Amino acid sequence: MEYRILGKTGLRVSRLGFGGIPIQRIDSERVKPLMRQLQQAGVNYIDTARGYTVSESYLGQALEGIRDQFILATKSMARTREAMASDIQTSLSNLRTGYIDLYQVHNPSLDQLDQVCAPGGALEALREAKAAGKIGHIGLTAHSADVFERALSLDWVETIMFPYNIVETQGEDLIRRAAAQNIGFIAMKPLAGGAIEDAALAMRFQVSNPDLTVTIPGMATEAEIAQNLAAVEDRSALSAEEQAKMAAIREQLGTRFCRRCDYCAPCTVGINISGTFLMQGYLTRYGLEDWARARYSAFPVKASACVECGVCESRCPYQLPIREMLKTAAAQFGE
Ligand code: SF4
Ligand code: SF4
């Protein structure tokens, strides 16, 4: 396993980390074997969030007795001092530990970032927790390049997490600047929210960037961990064949695809926006037409029900033209 120093934190982290989103959908007792597998392979970085329902508590349970083998990172959507202090306590309790290595401000907008930094904002609670030895370091996660850029100007930001994958390279310059400023870069969304199918190629692409400190693919099975381990162990340069495959993926997906982050929800009329785009992908990209149509027909509210209020678009961090995209999906599904 290759290790890197996570920017100003000084923490030595494995280049492959564990993304804690998918364990929400498995049984809690299945998490412990995954942790053992990580430990044996030298993976020492675990990412979770207050917002990932049971993820923190499943990890806390699975890490009993081996917590000191890992660097634990979590995050909170709290923007005020009071709410952040409460979330830090909840995270400590869920993770069954007295110390969290990295606590991150989870995906603030520019306005929310101002609130975090202002008197009475969440940063006060993070600094107090750091001074009290409850957390080790403070970071920030973002989906918007504007927030990433602002974060680079904030002296308290020790790490930044941002999407980076074969089709989302909009952060490349900012990632380079983060490295130059000794801010650790944590890459999320290696598969672009499931849009990229070739997981091994996706991992190879990410770790080929020397400015990326750690990548955190979501994993919920031993097989997924083994596959990602194999991909990052191969440190050879990307071959011409791999470059051609990546070009084909970029061509196929373009920029108008949904990352299934669900920040756009809830829809005013109850459309499952990300689910619709997911089924549309199966319909048009993966040749699973019958399956996709059957699943889509079970959705209680169809894309054609969109009243074009635009509320969802104001929430989408990727500025997707959701209304227009839903019209296309409605036409393809015929309802
Ligand atoms: S624009 Fe359409 S999809 Fe978006 S919130 Fe309004 S009704 Fe829902
Ligand atoms: S439409 Fe935008 S906000 Fe909604 S799930 Fe997709 S990427 Fe996320």
pLDDT score of 285: 66
By the 10 Å C-beta count (0-12 exposed, 13-18 middle, 19+ buried), 286 is classed as exposed
Mean pLDDT of 252-279: 86
Mean pLDDT of 18-39: 92
* Extents of the domains making up the chain: 3-239, 273-333
What string of DSSP letters covers 220-251?
A: -SHHHHHHHHHHHH--SPPPHHHHHHHHHHHH
Q: Which residue has the tokens 């390049």?
A: 145
Residue 287 pLDDT > 70: no
Mean pLDDT of 284-310: 89
Residue 143 pLDDT > 80: yes
Nearest CA to ligand 1 atom 8: 267
Q: How far is the CA of 316 from the centre of ligand 1 (A)?
A: 11
Task: Give the CATH superfamily of 3-239.
Answer: NADP-dependent oxidoreductase domain (3.20.20.100)
Residue 84 pLDDT > 80: yes
Q: Which residue has better confidence, 179 or 191?
A: 179
- Give percent of the chain with pLDDT exceeding 70: 99
Provide the whole-model pTM: 0.82
**Is the beta carbon of 324 within 6 A of some atom in ligand 2?**
no
Provide the H-helix boundaries in the chain. Answer: 31-41, 55-62, 81-94, 110-117, 122-131, 145-151, 172-180, 199-207, 222-233, 240-253, 273-284, 289-297, 311-315, 322-333
Give residues with Cβ within 8 angstroms of 19, minimum separation 6: 47, 188, 216, 217, 218, 219
**Is the beta carbon of 301 within 6 A of some atom in ligand 1?**
no
Tell me what the pLDDT averaged over the chain comes to: 93
> Are 187 and 37 a contacting pair, CB within 8 Å?
no
Mean pLDDT of 186-199: 87
By the 10 Å C-beta count (0-12 exposed, 13-18 middle, 19+ buried), 119 is classed as exposed
**Is the beta carbon of 259 within 6 A of some atom in ligand 2?**
yes
The minimum-distance atom of ligand 2 relative to the CA of 320 is 2
